[in-house]
Structure formats: C-alpha cells, structure tokens
A and B are shown apart, each in its own frame.
Chain A
Amino acid sequence: MSTIIKKTNLFKAIFNKQTRAIPIVEILLLILLIVIPLFVGDFLTVIITRMLILGLLAISFELCWGYSGIMTFGQGLFFGMGGYAVALFANKADFVQLWGVIPIGIIIGMCASFLVAWLLLLGKRPPELIFIALGTLTFSYAAERLVAGWYWVGGGNGMSIYEYLRIGSFEVEPGLLFYYIAATILLLVYLASRFLVKSQFGLVLAGTRQNEKRLAFLGYKVQKFKALVFCFAGAIAGLGGGLYAHHEGFIGPGNMGIGISTMAVIYALFGGAGSLIGPIIGVLAIESISFTLSDIDAVRGYWATILGVILLVVVTFKQDGLLGFVVTQRERIGTFGILKSTEHKPSENSQHLKNEKKDASS
C-alpha cells in the first residue's frame, strides 16, 4: 500500500503543474538518448539518428518562432544549403572529414540566413509577421526550384555522397557511432541554445515576443536582436543539413524546400512551441508515428492520412502541444533575474500598512 502511495506521490511530483517539469523531461530524454541504441537494432538506430538530426532543424525553427516571434518558413532552405555544401565538398573535392563538415554546415547556414535577415528583417521599418513568413517561404520555394533545375548540383535527382563521413582515416558509417556523434551534437546545440534563451539576452527575446514596439521605446534595436537569433538558428539548420546529407548519403531539392520547412513548423507546434525540448519531442513523436504506421500492413495504404488527422487534432485542440500536458505556460517563459523566493515576501513596511488599514476599517 505504502509503495502505491509513494508511486502516486512521485507521479504527482513529476506531473504536478507547480513543480518544474521541463528539467525532469530533459533528464528523462537524455537518459533515453544514451541508452536507446543499446536496446534496438542497427536499422532502428539509423532511423533514430535521422530523428536527432531533424531535431536540429526543429530547434532552429523554435529559436526563431517560439523565442523571437519570427515566423519563418525558411529553415529548410538553410538546412538544404548546409547539405548541398557538404555534398559538393564530398563530390568535387573528396572532402568528408567530420571536423570540416561541421563548420561548413554552420558557416553556410549562417551566411545564407544573414543574407535573408538582411533583406527581410533589417529594413528601415520593422517588418510585419506575414511579410517575414511569406518572404522566407518564397526564398525556400525559389531555392528548391533553382537546385531542381541546376545540373551542376544534380538537378531534380539531387546529389548522392558515395563516401562515408570520416574522422581522420576512420570511416563513420550510419549506425551506432554516427548515432552518438549526432546525439552529442544535438546535446551541445541544445545546451548552447538553452544558455542563450535563459540569459539576459533571452529576456530581450521574451520581451520581443510579447511587445516588440514597447521594447523599441526602451532603447533596444529589436530587429538586430532578431537578426542575430535568425543567423544563430540558420547556423544550426545548416549544421543539421550537413549531417543529414552525410547520414542519408543524399541531398535533394525536397530537402531544402517548402515541405521540410513546413515540417519544422509542425514539429514545433506538435511538440510544444515556447520551449526547446518541445520541438524535439515533436520530431520524435511525428517520425515515430510515421515509421510505425507505415510498417503496419492494415494501414499501409493510408498511413499518411492518419498521421495528418493526428497532427490536425493535436495542433487544433492542444495548442501548447504535447509538452502542454506536463508543462505550464509560466514555466515555459521562465524567469531571468536573480530574485530569490524569500525576497518577495511582504515587507515589514507593507505589513504595517495592511495592519493600519485593518485597524481603520474596524
């Protein structure tokens, strides 16, 4: 009996909305991340590695939308450009070293996102949300059409990478080692992003999301802050694209167009926007459901329809996503100062005033 009570208390501690649930979810996911390849076969390890790489894309979108209020449909563009860049290095220069692939993806993603930010975000007047959404969508679509018609980068067939990723002379095939490399990179990107959004810089981003105009009247150059986050997110997407191209051995127009850009949006909305862990949960959930449904004989013909309905139901009826079941909005926003809980108890002075009021009324 006492065991049952203890278990109930533990459940309450985990899922009570007063407690901080995000660190618990993060630790659970981290443990899962470390041990899961030890319990599944090579095939599933490869599938999960792909999910982790897509997690980078989801984080890059979340930094833009969930933290900075930039509605971007262009993260697929930076993802694809990172992928194409490393594929070109692999095919034209036989360069497949991991130590080079990572910075190539980052630099290409950052430069491309800077160019888009310069055109869309850094104008004389703050751009409307819809302008940025449609602008990034157009860039993404145009880039997809461009590479689909450009023979040098493989045209509509895309580019295959025939050599495995290397660390020195050691080949990294998709499998356990690639999994842990991808997991480590995702973890580092997650921690760096977490550090950023929890810092005083993150407080500015939180302000941007809530009242951009007011922030300008406090003296902040809001568009510059947005552009910085956009470039950081672009770098993450480019890094993801570089890893993706090597993991899949292929990059094509579909990996940099509207389709994958929209998937980044759906990952975040499904998992729960406004937190960094939500989009990763979104990727894991959507990709797992897709994989499972497509493998069931009874629904193989119409699994995509079922997935679409599930996405619609969650996005429509649970607007804070799957994470909303355990995490409050307040926790997602968090606090940024160093206020201790003991410091906002009623002061002696105010208590005195309250007593005075009581006396007067009696």
Chain B
Amino acid sequence: MKKKMPLLEVKNISKYFGVLTALDSVNISVQENTFHGLIGPNGSGKSTLLKVIAGDHYPDKGDISFNGNNITKHSPELRAQNGLNLKFQITAIFPELSVYDNILLSLQSSESFWNLVLSKSRTLFHDRIMDTLERFKLVDRAGSLAGELSHGLQQWLEIAMAVIRKPKLLLLDEPTGGMSPEERRATGELLLPIKKDCTLIIVEHDLEWIKDICDNLTVLDQGKVLDDGTVEHIESSQRVKEVYTSRV
C-alpha cells in the first residue's frame, strides 16, 4: 500500500544565532489531520522550529516542504496565503480593534484590493464571524476592544483568528500559556473539533494537556530531535524520561 504523503516535512533543518545552535539537523514529518506536539525543556528549540516553519526565521540549512511544495524561502505572507498559520507565543492580537474586527481582519486577508476598498465582503462574512465568536465563547464580547479581554480570552481570540481562515496547518505556540486549569481544559475542547479540517502543531509545556490532545509527539533537546512517535511511544521512551527527570 502506498504511504500517504505528509502535509509538512522538515528535512535536516539547522538554525544558528551567532555561535548558538538553536536547531541542529531537525527532521519531522506531520501527517494531514493529525495533532502533533512539540515538547522539550526550556531552550530546546521548540519555538524556533515553529518560527522557522512559519517563516519568521529562515533556516541556515535544510528544507521545508508543505503540501508537496518547497517553502523554505517563502515569505510569511506567502505561507499564510497557502494555508499555514501561526499563533504566537506572546498573544499577538490587535488590542485597539474590537474582537469582531480582529476576526474580520483575519478572515478578509485573501480578498482583492477592490473588494477591500469597496467593503464588498464584510456583509458576506458576518454570519461566519458570529458563528466563530459563538464557538469560542466570545460572542458576548464581540464589540469590546480586544485589549480589554482577559489573557485567556485573548488566547482564544487569537486561535479563533487562525481557525476561521480554515488553514491546512495551524502552528500553536503555547496556546494555554497563562491559563487556569479550567481554561486549559476548555481550550482542548475547542481545538478537538477542528481536527477533521486542519492539522495542528502545538508547542506546549503542560505535558498532561498535550498528551491528551495530540496523536504524535516530537521531543526536542538542545536543538536536536531526541525522540518522536506516538504518545504511547514517547511515554515509554527511556531517553525522554532521562531528559525530563534531569532538567524539567
């Protein structure tokens, strides 16, 4: 039987910041409609890898292929237009715009210049925006300034901004950072239904949470892949246990 082509393939990626090696010949492969977790101690290169995939940093070596295309040198705009979206570690919303306008801004990015100038699509997008706000429990705050939301709601808003665009691949950098246990549980519940349409790569420190939500995990340590495989495989990996018990 022919093996299904992965949605994302990171091949021998290395990234250096001066003398520091942030990533050292990293290889990962992510299948479509799966949730893939990146874990590892602080400074292991998880966020750098996510930024390299999203185009925030360009790798010094190696290639990235997404949906069969080599995107190593593509700009972040081009990657986003092709269905690759990033949710930043530090919440990156537009604080002086309303919650509704944040979602609209995200949704209308593929509109033509004249559609934007003539405001042709805002009526068409309205129902979709309201549905997304409802789903992410933000509908009551639609008219509020995004900067006035609590940290947890801001995180949800940013995830909603990414999800409404129906990306093929969504990169989430610590989506539950700064959230209460209750909010973390709710975030997991919000993410699970998108699996049928979208592939996720998640960087997260909360191991219990990421084990519950992800199908596969890659463990990074000092810029290298320590181990990868299914959640069960990682849980039983002796090498991973050593790293976590010694450094985390």
Give residues in A with beta carbon < 8 Å to B. 196, 199-201, 203-204, 206-207, 210-211, 213-222, 228, 329-330, 333, 335-339, 341, 343-347, 349-350
Contacts and interface: CB of A to CB of B under 8 A. Distances in A.
A219 B164 CA distance: 14
B104 A337 contact: yes
Given A199-B117, A203-B108, A210 B126 contact: no
A316 B53 CA distance: 44
B233 interface: no
B97 A207 contact: yes
A290 B179 CA distance: 56
Contacts of B115: 200
11 contacts: A203-B105, A216-B80, A218-B85, A336-B97, A337-B104, A338-B126, A344-B139, A344-B141, A345-B140, A346-B140, A347-B134
A207 B94 contact: yes
B122 A210 contact: no
B197 interface: no
Instruction: Report the interface size class on chain B.
Output: 35 or more
B158 to A, nearest CB: 9
A206 B97 contact: yes
A201 B122 contact: no
A350 B137 contact: yes
B85 A217 contact: yes
A343 B143 CA distance: 9
Identify which of B56, B100, B130 gathers the most chain A CB atoms within 10 Å of its CB: B100
Contacts, number: 128
Given A206-B94, A337-B129, A218 B80 contact: yes
A201 B142 contact: no
A214 B154 CA distance: 14
Given A204-B116, A206-B97, A335-B101, A343 B110 contact: no
A338 B124 CA distance: 10
Contact of B111 (A200, A222, A337, A349): A200
Contacts of A349: 134
Contacts of A341: 143
B76 interface: yes
A219 B139 contact: no
Contacts of B143: 335, 339, 341, 344
Nearest to B143: A344
Contacts of B109: 218-220
Contacts of B81: 219
Given A217-B54, A219-B80, A344-B140, A329 B96 contact: yes
A216 B86 CA distance: 11
Given A214-B88, A344-B142, A196 B94 contact: no
A213 B55 CA distance: 11
Contact of A216 (B77, B104, B123): B77
B41 interface: no
B117 A196 contact: yes
What are the 5 A-B residue pairs with the smallest beta carbon separation, nearest first? A219-B80, A344-B142, A201-B116, A219-B109, A214-B92
Given A207-B105, A338-B123, A344-B140, A200 B116 contact: yes
Contacts of B165: 218-219
B183 to A, nearest CB: 14
A150 B1 CA distance: 78
Contacts of A343: 130, 139, 142
A210 B137 contact: no
B230 interface: no
Interface in B180-235: none
B118 interface: yes
Nearest to A345: B140
Residue picked from A207, A211, A218, most chain B C-beta under 10 Å: A218
Nearest to B86: A217
Given A219-B80, A336-B122, 16 more contacts: A199-B116, A199-B117, A200-B120, A203-B101, A203-B108, A211-B92, A214-B92, A217-B88, A218-B109, A219-B165, A333-B96, A333-B97, A337-B100, A337-B129, A344-B100, A350-B140
Residue of B108, B120, B134 ringed by the most chain A CB atoms within 10 A? B108
A200, A214, A217, A350: residue with the most chain B Cβ atoms closer than 10 Å: A217
